[in-house]
Structure 1
Amino acid sequence: MTSHPTMGVEEEFLLVQPDGGEPIARNKQVAATAAEHGVELQLELTSCQVETATEVMDTSSALRSELLRLRRVATEAAVANGAQLLAAGLPPTVPHEFPVTPTPRYRRIADRFGMIAHEQGICGCHVHVAVPDRDVAIYVSNWLRPWLHVFVALTANSAIYRKADSGHASFRSVLWSRWPSAGPPPHFDSADHYDAIVAMMERSGAALDDGMIYWDVRPSANFPTVEVRVSDVPATVDETVLLATLIRAGVMTAVRAHDDGETPRRLTDCEIRVAHWKAAHDGLDGEGLYLLGEPSVLPARELLGRFVETVRPALEELGDYDMVTDELGRVVTEGNGAMRQRRAWRRRGEIADVISELASATVAGLTR
């Protein structure tokens, strides 16, 4: 590609009761209010969630401004309807229920997948990066497979669930893996190979349509992009910008490897799944698996550093290397969402402290 690829980001949020933090079914009302202020919120599978989507962005600074704008409008729309917006992978409280949003498609999903759908009150972040064509998107997917779990550890934001420590930094990742079409994708030989596997999944009923192909990275069904959808929704806008910038640099590095005729390392599904579980369990302050070369266990922060060095030429070309290293230093020092959740929980064992911490992080920087 002759210019830097564009990017776009989707963030999913919980709507909760301000006084107790329980999920509250008001997505239609919140979306209607946001629309009055020029923001179209997407309705998710459960009526306790909304999703924002940025415009196509050229720079990390423009992306930050857009994410701040969207969070501001969504937050104000939630407040106007007696709810609180939370950027969290899972509700820290014990949900009474996750009512399914009453659209024909969501009803079909709920009928087909039962309890998996009815417990789907989880929030992720999806990053789109432009690629030249679907064949390149498949190559990028293969190239990213050994690194995807690094993004799980970086953005882990679902440690506290049902008023308890889940034992995982990203328990959302564990729950998400119950869908037959979710998780790390296989290694694909071509776009035709990808299409054949998708067709098989749809024939079997494991996915009802292309929109239900929930792999952690996939060619977008709607845009000329590759979509990385492996992460919890980050606690703060700055962490979302960091995530998107790293993914963009990873895609750029992969596209150049494709153009140079390099062959991505073909790893087994077992290796990839173990690395993902380790990242979801340990998060940023634990250990992770390095899969390129002899598989080895490293501190998660060192593993993240290896990825940054791998994509450093792309980051420097974008002018984002200093921003990335500064923000990584802040996240390591202050903690990501999961680490902050656990600190809040351990103070008194009170879920109100966790909700307060998440609420503050969600709106951090909105006054800029």
Structure 2
Amino acid sequence: MAKTTGPPQSVVKDIPTLGVEEEFLLCDPVTKQPRFRNTEVAAAGRDLGVDLQLELTRCQVETATTVGHHVRDLRDQLWELRVAAADAAARAGCQLLAVGTPFYDPPPHETTHTSRYQRMAGEFGALTAGVMCGCHVHVGVEGRKQAVRIINHLRPWLPTLLSLTANSPISAGVDTGYASWRYIQYGRWPSCGPPPYFESLNHYDTAIETMLEAGVILDPHMVYWDVRVSDHLPTVEIRISDVPATVGETITYATLVHALVVTVMREIAAGCPAPIIDQEVLRAACWRAARDGVAGRALDMDPVRLVPTRQLVRRLLDYVTPMLAEFGELERVTASLETVFDEGNGAMVQRRTLTRSGITDVIDECARRTAGGCDRQTDTALSSS
């Protein structure tokens, strides 16, 4: 994330900071195959005054907001970054897509030409050929000890966050059977998945030291847990989400995460213990979320049973309602979630379009939804209502 330019004028007192990173796929606008031109797209971005960061594979770029104290501080940025990234991609002969995975698998050996990424390719082989685009939300913390406590409290909510944002059902031109194929693919990395329950900050650090010793990671930045303590920022980083299909969905997701983390912080301050969820139960719940997304069923972990995913989404909304009301965002988020229930999220729209008119139309629809359309008007109307 970039450095903050100063606190906004309208903030809720003592609310921690917020920042959002989004990863995007580059594809050929004609063949629809992944296009390996991220350095050219980044150069075009610099000409437009936007900093597009390179990712592991050459068909990806990433945007990052500045630091805000409220989602209102980031809303316009998120729109502008997507529009600028799409413009930069077009100038470099690419189409920008907000999708969790490519529609066609890229060939191997297309790792971005940086020393760190090349070293990763040497150490982890074919794992680095996978292309996965996520959305990472950073929330400011007072220290690493607090961040680890927050992670423990967030663990039960991770599957619900994934269900909401699932946006990668198609691979090799066909439906994979998973709403988030990205999450399934990402799970091949040995440092991915839901984090364990940590007894202390020392427990967290020992786990990372063990991974370093085993060669599971090359550096702390390769800790790819669904939520982690940032290794370079004073934040807790929630990483479980696919990149949402529309910026309106990203705004809603970031708002929910911000409200969730602040709610958890207040519970910690009040002395409330984190629920201890069995790791295998949590992994099963995350798998189910990746499989069904928001359209199917989810694993309720207390008691362990399958329920409609919408039931757990509504439980999350109820849990953070007081904080959303304090933010002044309750009406907007509630309306946005109802729209997702009625019209579908990224995975659902992709599947409908694939059934109706085929893969080429899926990709063109994803490109349209990535950088604009009616969603901005809808979000603006909701935010001003």
TM-score by length of 1: 0.97
CA distance in structure 1 between the aligned counterparts of 2:334 and 2:63, rounded to whole angstroms: 27
Counterpart amino acid of residue 356 in structure 2:
R
Aligned partner of 2:329 in structure 1 is: 320
Amino acid at match of 1:35: R
The ranges of structure 1 where at least 4 consecutive aligned residues each deviate by more than 6 angstroms after the TM superposition are: none
- Which residue number in structure 2 is paired with residue 125 of structure 1? 135
Deviation at 1:311, TM superposition (A): 1.2
Structure 1 vs Structure 2: percent identity of aligned residues? Answer: 47
Residue 306 of structure 2 aligns with which residue? Answer: 297
Q: Secondary structure in 1 aligned to 2:299?
A: strand
Residue 215 of structure 1 corresponds to which residue in structure 2? 225
Matched, 1:18 2:26: no
SS in 1 for 2:160: helix
- CA deviation map 1:224-269 (0-9, x unaligned): 1100000100000010011111111110111011101111111111
In the alignment, what sits opposite 2:366? 358
One-letter amino acid of the counterpart of residue 336, structure 2: E
Deviation at 1:58, TM superposition (A): 2.2
Match of 1:195 in 2: 205
SS in 1 for 2:139: strand
Q: Report how far residue 62 of structure 1 moved.
A: 2.6
1:95 aligns with 2:106: yes
Q: Confirm or deny: 8 A CA contact 2:143 2:234 kept in the other structure.
A: yes
Change (3 A) 1:294 1:88: same
2:59 pairs, out of 48, 51, 55, with 48
Match for 1:311: what amino acid?
Answer: V
**Matches of 2:321 and 2:273 in 1, distance apart?**
20
- RMSD across aligned positions (CA): 1.4
Checking the alignment, whether the CA contact within 8 Å between 1:7 and 1:127 is kept in structure 2 is yes
Name 2:78's counterpart in structure 1.
Answer: 67
- In the TM superposition, residue 96 of structure 1 has moved relative to its aligned partner by 3.6
CA separation in 1, counterparts of 2:105 and 2:119? 26
SS of 2:339 mapped into structure 1: helix
1:4 aligns with 2:15: yes
| 3-state SS of paired residue (1:29) | helix
Deviation at 1:185, TM superposition (A): 0.4
Give 2:182's match in structure 1, choosing from 172, 183, 192.
172
CA shift, 1:132, in A, is 1.5
How many angstroms does 1:283 deviate by?
0.6
Partner secondary structure for residue 326 of structure 2:
helix
2:162 to 121, 129, 152: 152
Q: Distance in 2 between matches of 1:235 and 1:3?
A: 31
Contact 1:219-1:225 at 8 Å conserved across structures = yes
Alignment partner of 2:237: what SS? strand
Deviation at 1:20, TM superposition (A): 2.2
- 271, 276, 282: which one pairs with 2:281? 271
What letter matches 1:353 in structure 2?
D
**Secondary structure of 1:8 counterpart:** strand
Q: Distance in 2 between matches of 1:94 and 1:163?
A: 9
8 A Cα contact 1:156 1:284, kept in partner:
yes
What SS is found at the alignment partner of 1:77? Answer: helix
How do 1:200-279 residues align onto structure 2 when only pairs under 5 Å count?
Answer: 200-279=210-289
> Which residue identity does 2:111 align to in structure 1?
V
- Give 5+ residue unaligned stretches, structure 2: 1-11, 378-385
Instruction: Supply the distance in 2 between the matched residues of 1:152 and 1:262 (Cα, whole angstroms).
Output: 25
The one-character-per-residue Cα deviations of 1:260-309 (angstroms, maximum 9, x if unpaired) are 11111111110100000000000101011122x31222111111000110
Match of residue 317 from structure 2: 308
Question: How many residues in Structure 1 have an aligned counterpart in Structure 2?
Answer: 365
What amino acid sits opposite 2:247 in the alignment?
A: V
**Superposed CA offset, 1:40-87 (max 9, x none):** 111000000000000002222332210111011110000001000000
Partners of 2:17 and 2:266 in 1: CA distance: 16
Q: In structure 1, what is the Cα distance between the partners aligned to 2:195 and 2:317?
A: 22
Determine if contact 1:30/1:81 at 8 Å carries over to the other structure. Answer: yes
Q: How many Å apart are 1:2 and its aligned residue? A: 5.4
For residues 73 and 173 of structure 2, the distance between their equivalents in structure 1, rounded to whole angstroms, comes to 37
SS at match of 2:294: helix
* 1:142 aligned partner: 152
How far does residue 94 in structure 1 lie from its aligned partner after superposition?
3.9
Give the TM-score normalised by structure 2: 0.92
Equivalent position amino acid for 1:288 in 2: A
Letter of the structure 2 residue corresponding to residue 323 of structure 1: R
CA drift of 1:93 comes to: 2.4
**What SS does the aligned partner of 2:21 have?**
strand
Asked whether the equivalents of residues 136 and 237 of structure 2 are also in contact (C-alpha less than 8 Å), the reply is yes
Match of 2:172 among 162, 168, 178: 162
